[in-house]
Chain A
Amino acid sequence: MEESDPRGPTRRRFLDYLLGTSVVATLSAILYPIFKFMVPPQVIEASTNSVSVGKNADIPANSGKIFKFGSKPGIIIRTQAGDLKAFSASCTHLDCIVQYSPEKKEIVCACHNGVYDLTGKNIGGPPPRPLEEYKVNVKGDDITVTRT
């Protein structure tokens, strides 16, 4: 049969060739995302309940540092005495980011001069509520903040 049609074998071979390459192409189009998916991403998975905020040396005494806690800002403070304290950095008045004032040894909000003491309590200006406090864990040289 095949010999009776001279165009037959070439046409069939061409179709088989095309089919083979397409199958390979499609399979690789399917496998490519799968392999890419299995490659661990650069970003370390964000955990909601605790976040690493840096090394001991990053936060000298009498200073504060803002860090990202999920989608919200947090602030970690080392008091002059050397204690570490962490709070939500969203001012309870209008959600501005608060900062540590090394001169006053207080947490202040630059937007409307809200003032919090180092326990997070609102002691001046318009803020209606204290800042939410987080737990600080120090393991070796790494500082981790945990929401309770």
Chain B
Amino acid sequence: MKKIDSLFLWLDERLGIQSIFKMAKKKEVPLHRHSIWYYFGGMTLFLFTVQVATGILLLLYYRPSAEGAFESVQFIITEVQFGWLIRSVHSWSANLLIAALFIHMFSVYFMSAYRAPREITWITGALLLFISIGFGFSGYLLPWNKLAFFATKVGTEIAGVVPIIGHPILRFLRGGDEVTGATLTRFFGFHVAVLPAIATVLIGTHVLLVQMHGMSVPPKIEETEEPKTMKFVPNFLLRDLIGWILAVGVLAALAAIFPWELGEKADAFASAPAGIKPEWYFLFMFQTLKYLPAKIFALDGEVLGILGFGLGGLFWVLVPFLNKTPGHGRRKLVFNVIGIFIVVFIIVMTIVGYVSS
């Protein structure tokens, strides 16, 4: 016992562990009827660590080349022990992560948690959304199967539609004019080096800021009542833990019952399979672009759509500056209506995308 104590003291002198412990002890989570939404940030973070762990494992066998990618994934899921599990968990966890992230984001939006002084927390979060989507888009291609090949082709083509900068972007993403082995190498680089580096910085900032400012309480509750609080350690953390344990269970169940299919190897000369669809979190954009007329006031419909989504993204990032005094009167109503419209739009378009073939 003494030895451990002295080791602790030794470390504390050098690392200041005591102060971290103190901070953790002091940390409290407000309790009110919307507290449930606080769990989703932690869930997203947990799923991200699952992605990091399984991603590193997959790297042991994956080969990022047009000749070897498909075969190496096939090798992982067939020859490597528990390879099927690791790969399926990685794929499923990616999807759950995006879902958890969306829930977290919209709960923050509707609770106006982005208001001062948490603007930068919101911005880093919004940027993390784009990074996560980038992870999804780049990771989808890596197995180099037919579906991924054509989804990437279509996806990068959409980027190429943007006037002036579109074509250079398309060439940058594809590593040339066509989707080839060069694209795969590039996407691999984005997926395992560029995006993780950016994500680490952003997540670090995001989490640090949350510790600095503490959990935000919705304005309405803040005004009417003094919310009760709960200790973060251990009460809230243990509740988080239950969520994470259940997430592990769900991931294992999904991986075993619905193993992620590998499909057929990509073939640049094969014709596109009928009804190719992007991953579900792109589907609403994909479907919207489909519905836009070819010409809107002499402008290309698709270009307008893409620009629209771009502006939408910008609006989303800048929300804290557009809505500086949330929780008051008409302004709140307007932003709530916008938020509800976006949620409904995404849900409806996603469903339509799934139903229509």
Contact = CB atoms under 8 A, between A and B. Distances in A.
Instruction: Tell whether any CB of A sits under 8 Å from a CB of B in the complex.
Output: yes
A43 interface: yes
A47 B80 contact: no
A74 B86 CA distance: 33
A48 interface: yes
A39 B81 CA distance: 8
Interface stretch (A10-18, A30-38, A59-67, A136-144): A30-38
Given A26-B245, A48-B68, A49-B67, A37 B75 contact: no
A49 B265 CA distance: 14
Contacts of A36: 81-82
B91 to A, nearest CB: 15
Contact of B60 (A26, A30, A38, A48): A38
Given A33-B85, A46-B71, A38 B79 contact: no
A41 interface: yes
Contacts of A34: 53, 57, 82, 86
B67 A37 contact: no
A22 B209 CA distance: 34
Nearest to B245: A26
B71 A48 contact: yes
Contact of B57 (A26, A37, A46, A47): A37
A38 B57 contact: yes
Contacts of A26: 245, 248
Most chain B CB within 10 A, of A34, A37, A41, A46, is at A37
A45 interface: yes
Nearest to A42: B79
27 contacts: A26-B245, A26-B248, A30-B248, A33-B85, A33-B86, A34-B57, A36-B81, A36-B82, A37-B80, A37-B81, A37-B82, A37-B85, A39-B81, A41-B80, A41-B81, A43-B79, A45-B61, A45-B75, A45-B79, A46-B71, A46-B75, A47-B67, A47-B68, A47-B71, A48-B68, A48-B71, A49-B67
A52 B72 CA distance: 17
Nearest to B54: A34
Contacts of B80: 37, 41
Given A26-B245, A47-B68, 8 more contacts: A33-B81, A33-B85, A34-B53, A41-B80, A46-B71, A46-B75, A47-B71, A49-B67
Interface string B65-98: 0011001100100011111011000000000000
Contacts of A37: 57, 60, 80-83, 85-86
B62 to A, nearest CB: 11
A52 to B, nearest CB: 15
A13 to B, nearest CB: 17
Contacts of B82: 33-34, 36-37
Nearest to A41: B79
Contacts of B79: 41, 43, 45
A37 B82 CA distance: 6
A134 to B, nearest CB: 15
Nearest to A34: B57
A26 B244 CA distance: 12
A12 to B, nearest CB: 14
Interface string B99-125: 000000000000000000000000000
Contacts of A43: 79
Contacts of B61: 45
Interface in B34-64: 53, 57, 60-61
A131 B116 CA distance: 73
A19 B248 CA distance: 17
Contacts of A49: 67
Contacts of A39: 81
Contacts of B67: 47-49
Nearest to B68: A47
Nearest to A45: B75
B177 to A, nearest CB: 24
Most chain B CB within 10 A, of A26, A33, A38, A49, is at A33
B234 to A, nearest CB: 12
